[in-house]
Structure 1
Amino acid sequence: MVAKISIGASLYGALSYNGEKINKTEGRILGSNKIVVPVDGSADIGRMADNFRLFMPKMGKTKKPVLHISLNPHPDDKLSDQDFESLAREYIDRLGFGEQPYVIYKHEDIDRHHIHIVTVNVNEEGKRLNQDFLYRRSKKITTELEEKYHLHKAQREKLSPDTPICKVDPDGDIKRQVANSVKMVGMRWKFQSIGEYNAILGLYNIKCEQTDGRVNGREYHGLVYFATDDNGNVIVTPLKASRLGKFASRTAIDSRFERAKDKIDIAPTRRSVADALARSSDKDGFIAKLKESNIDVVFRYTDEGRIYGVTFVDHGTQTSLNGSRLGKEFSANALQTRFSQAQPQQPIQQQPNRQPTSVPTVVPPPSSPSNTTSGTANTTNTAQPRSAKNLANDYDPIIPGLDLFQPGQSVNPDEEDFRRRLQRKKKGMRRRF
């Protein structure tokens, strides 16, 4: 039996997490101590929180007074509700919190049923209870309970670099799956930005977002993880990095960005991508050729369908690279230009008794010899040079929908003549005064 102990500051958060599962019929309350439990089996989160506060001082020095414990027997152990409750009460008593207010919940949202205990580690006088060697004492207790009740010896799942990473199974323990996948991605892969990190996680139906803000006047910078379906839709409540482990925190991921800089060799990936691009006539062919080289490509699109980001996930080198890191010709804008030119062009149709509709041709600046145009009326514009910051984030500074208004060499003679006359008039007025 594995016990997991979390020490936190939010009593309402712990009660809400468990109470919502009970109210969704994904579990039940097995018992409590000093806390009033509704007779209908529902979880009145607000009333429970008020009950807990009766046994806690209004003012106290303990910043994290809440203990949230989960007890996880081996899947082969078939226990009744009475067995679960007996185990929980004996465990919490031997841990030294048997006289504290607590609630025992049974979770049935996954096949491996388990129990959660919410209690507090301060007494009515505000004094913190003994937490010395808490985790060591907990391990000793679970081992003795396994022997006493003839339970299987359950151990924490050990991860190694060879452990396979699988997509999130919506019917399994999602938190555990996300935690394991995030940990193994960090162990194996090299990446230098959140976009490159997400390109890997997305293969396993996980995504990550940065969270920045202010709480009680203090800034915070963290990460939140989401489990998704194959279409990218979020399927469960987001998971804060702190719930998964230190390896998932923003500090840990930022440090991986820095360490990866000295370890990444882009040459092998660049050669494979260049070869696939040279042998491809369109985007679908490009994707297929990359697959042959064991490389996944992740395109990001605007609402109008324009490519604004591209990341290559190389399984051979276990590296995730934004296209701009490989070179200008592999950036999002360059690929957008190439693939849009590969699409068949629609001829301009003339209306009866009307002049043909003219479409201005946008000519690339002379300073960009590598840029090309389609040579037809429907022309795809080329991007202007990007800053180092934009390159690092594979961000295209051209705003979708405005690329028709990029400067070109097409000139209207009448407008140019009018502009010159205005300039001469202004100069004459300045001389007068």
Structure 2
Amino acid sequence: MVAKIKSGKSLIGALNYNENKVKQGKAMLIAAVKYFKDPNDLSFNDKLFRLTDLASMNQRSKTNTVHISLNFPNGENLADDILQEIVKDYLHGVGFSTQPYLVYRHEDAGHPHIHIVTTNIKRDGERISLHYLGQNESEKTRKAIEIKYGLVKADEQTKQKPNLKADVSAAEYGKAETKRAITNILGFVLRAYKFTSIPEFNGVLGVYNIQADRGSKDSRMYAREGLVYWVLDKKGNKVGVPIKASTVYGKPALKTLEEKFKLNAQLRKPFKDELIKILDGILIKPLTKGEFQKALREKGVQCILRQNDEGRIYGVTFIDQKNKAVFNGSDLGKAYSANQISAQLSPDPVKPKFQHQHEAQANNEFSEALAGDKLINVLIAPELEDLAALNKFKKKKRKGLNLYHYANRRKRTGPQKDHRLYQAT
């Protein structure tokens, strides 16, 4: 069993995540402990307010959300009542036995797992400390549960060998077991591609929806040169549970990769000049970012542009798919660094933000006509538009005449009579 603890500031966000999975038919609520109704009778607000009421007891604490996932190896399918007991023992071991919590069984991945949503704020406003919770109490409790329930021990799971004969395709969370998918992709990428750094490595892995992660620079994992692998969704966001490099077949940890970086630096050299020639031939004429990447793809080179939120390019990686050689732009020379490439590329054409009202209306009418197969409306659209404009002009003219007669009538009848006449109309 593998436990993953996430803390946050949004109880409604954690609850929404699980409830949306329920609506999609990918999860089921199997327990609601210390609630005042049966799980099937709880509304969304019932689930939420029970937790937010506790969280409100401590206004100073911004972190009030605890979202835990317990993950089991493929094939270890446990009954709901056993899962409920495991959750009870686990929360007792990590100091959450007094807290209300919700348990969801998820079926959106290749391995069985459950999610627990609770809060770390007690009834008296005291905050349950989350400092080193995952490293200390969680690990001890996890190991005790594995023994008590006869579960497969996480530390002793057999490392899966990559299936080198299978066609390697991009990972898709929930379609296959996460660890198996990562193992297969890593086995292929490590064997086939020549890269010399983590960013270059991630440039290739990103094609297969995988990312190698060292953690933030101030984290313990980074300081200890640890490495984990994530599955990414279509938007590039991390999903599921990270897999430690030490548990993957071949142990592609940082030290192993660094040795491979040195070897790859020599193996990719013969392909450097060929890639530079391709770039020089493409950069002769001005191109936008999209046109530049498309032109390279036609030559068998994939260009990954790393951009910030403002769209500024701060990194570029070239993947020569023909020779399986990976280069950061600066490795090819200063002229191919991110800053220089960005300076040579033309800005994307700016699309007009506003459209004349009658043009927008005409486009909408055209789309509606096509959707309903009423092509006659499209054919006579110009005549209808002219007719509408003529009617609008007549209304304005009629309105002007009315004002003229109204002014003459006022002169004849005087302001008092005119006021009564206005009320009558």
Query: Normalized against structure 2, the TM-score is what?
Result: 0.51
With over 3 angstroms needed to count, the CA separation of the structure-2 counterparts of 1:10 and 1:320, relative to structure 1, is farther
AA of the residue aligned to 2:151: L
Q: How far apart, in 1, do the equivalents of 2:157 and 2:333 lie?
A: 38
* C-alpha distance in structure 2 between counterparts of 1:321 and 1:110, whole Å: 34
1:269 is displaced (CA, Å) by 3.8
**Residue 144 of structure 1 aligns with which residue?**
144
Match of 1:100? 99
1:200 aligns with one of 200, 204, 208: 204
Match of 2:386 in 1: none
Which residue matches 2:126? Answer: 127
CA distance in 2, matches of 1:197, 1:310: 13
Partners of 2:143 and 2:130 in 1: how far apart?
Answer: 19
Structure 1 unmatched runs, 5+: 209-223, 229-233, 248-259, 291-295, 301-307, 332-387, 402-433
How many angstroms apart in 2 are the aligned matches of 1:324 and 1:109?
41
Q: Distance in 2 between matches of 1:285 and 1:124?
A: 62
Mapped pair 1:313 → 2:319: yes
Which deviates more, 65-74 or 130-139? Answer: 130-139
The one-letter amino acid paired with 1:172 is: A
C-alpha distance in structure 2 between counterparts of 1:159 and 1:150, whole Å: 19
- Conserved 8 A contact 2:233-2:239: no
Taking only the aligned residue pairs, the percentage that are identical comes to 26
Amino acid in structure 2 at the alignment position of 1:271:
D
**Richer in helix (by share):** 2
Asked if structure 1 preserves the Cα contact closer than 8 Å seen for 2:103 and 2:115, the reply is yes
2:237 to 236, 239, 247: 239
CA distance in 2, matches of 1:34, 1:103: 9
User: Equivalences for 1:53-202 in 2 at 5 Å?
Assistant: 53-131=52-130, 134-135=133-134, 136-155=136-155, 167-170=170-173, 171-172=175-176, 189-190=195-196, 199-202=203-206
Output one character per residue of 1:344-375: Cα deviation in whole Å (capped at 9) or x when no partner.
Answer: xxxxxxxxxxxxxxxxxxxxxxxxxxxxxxxx
Q: Give the distance between the partners of 1:176 and 1:13, measured in 2 at CA.
A: 29
Residue pair 1:35, 1:52 contacting (<8 A) in 2 also? no
Instruction: Determine if contact 2:178/2:231 at 8 Å carries over to the other structure.
Output: no
**In the superposition, relative to structure 1, how do residues 70 and 264 fare at CA in structure 2: closer, same or farther (>3 Å)?**
same
Structure 1 residues 239 and 274, CA gap change in structure 2 (3 angstroms) = closer
In structure 1, distance between residues paired with 2:87 and 2:275 = 56
Does the aligned pair in 2 maintain the 1:37–1:48 contact within 8 Å? no
SS of residue matched to 2:55: coil
Aligned residues: 286
Q: Map 1:29-48 onto structure 2 (within 5 A).
A: 29-35=29-35, 40=40, 44-48=43-47
Displacement after TM superposition at 1:115 (Å): 1.1
- Name the counterpart of 1:221: none
Q: Distance in 2 between matches of 1:89 and 1:22?
A: 22
Give the conservation status (yes or no) of the 8 Å contact 2:319–2:327. yes
Task: Please state how far the C-alpha of 1:107 moved relative to its aligned partner.
Answer: 0.7
**1:204 maps to amino acid:** Y
Deviation track 1:189-224 (CA, whole Å, cap 9, x = no partner) reads 55798xx7875344214699xxxxxxxxxxxxxxx9
- Aligned-partner Cα distance in 2 for 1:138–1:241: 21
Aligned to 2:403: none
Distance in 2 between residues matched to 1:192 and 1:2, nearest whole Å: 26
* Separation in structure 2 between the aligned mates of residue 205 and residue 129 of structure 1, nearest angstrom: 36
Match of residue 227 from structure 1: 233
